[in-house]
Amino acid sequence: MNVTEAITWRHSIRAFLTKPVEREKLDAVLAASVRAPSWANTQPWEIFAAASDTLKRIRAGYRQKYADKAPTAPETPHPIEWPEAAQKRIQQLRPDMERMCGASVEQFAELNQTMFGAPAVVYVCMDKALSEWSLYDIGAYSQTFMLAALEQGLSAIPAITLTLYPDILRRELKIPDNLKITIGIAVGYADKGNGINNFVSSRKPLDETIRFFE
């Protein structure tokens, strides 16, 4: 698989097998991911990986929070109001999912709430004192991680829902107060029997994306 094939083939996986991720494979992905670029090589990413019993406790904690309808508290807040064009694309995502692979809104929510059944979640944190620029670096790290995962036969999804209850993550993963939890990336083996994983999201046309002057 060349680079373009890997970029094109990658898509978010929302249902994983319970099969654990071999530690060597996750280590190889983590080792490759630190080659991501960052402003002045600041490498703001601080990684907290959860698997096995630790992830079981986090998942159980989340289940309880959802059952209690506890207010969510992601540390990277949503925009107060999405610009109209972004809003339109958000509104298109779930109907597309339903049409292309029959996944209902309820199934989507259930998979999100159960952390997609993933055997491992990697939390990417950064120092609270850093600026928005470092979020750019975190994004680069995240995509690098997901592409490196492909090479190991692993799939992944970055998800804000994985970060909704930071108190549980801070307790279980001993995340220091000076760090902000920016994103969680669930990783593992795709459940090929679950149709939601066949969903391939659309992209706006290139001529709406690129203004090329020469």
Ligand X SMILES: Cc1cc2nc3c(=O)[nH]c(=O)nc-3n(C[C@H](O)[C@H](O)[C@H](O)COP(=O)(O)O)c2cc1C
Residues 160, 170, 189, 198: which binds ligand X (CB under 6 A)?
160
Size of the site for ligand X (CB under 6 A): 12
Burial of residue 136, with CB atoms counted within 10 A of its CB: 0-12 exposed, 13-18 middle, 19 or more buried: middle
Segment contacting ligand X by CB under 6 A, of 64-72, 80-88, 152-160, 190-198: 152-160
Segment contacting ligand X by CB under 6 A, of 7-15, 48-56, 128-136, 205-213: 7-15
- Using the rule CB under 6 A, is 140 a contact of ligand X? no
Q: Which is nearer to ligand X, 121 or 159 (CB)?
A: 159
Q: Which is nearer to ligand X, 78 or 174 (CB)?
A: 78
Contact string 175-194 vs ligand X (x = CB under 6 A): --------x-----------
Burial of residue 9, with CB atoms counted within 10 A of its CB: 0-12 exposed, 13-18 middle, 19 or more buried: exposed
Q: Which is nearer to ligand X, 23 or 204 (CB)?
A: 204
User: Is residue 123 helix, strand or coil?
Assistant: strand
The phi and psi torsions of 99 (rounded to 5 degrees) equal -70, -45
Q: Which residue has the tokens 């298109």?
A: 92
Cα distances (angstroms) measured from residue 86 to each of 10, 69, 78, 119: 22, 28, 13, 32
The count of other CB atoms within 10 Å of the CB of residue 115 is 23
Q: Which is nearer to ligand X, 60 or 90 (CB)?
A: 90
Contacting residues toward ligand X, per CB under 6 A: 11-12, 14, 93, 112, 157-161, 183, 201
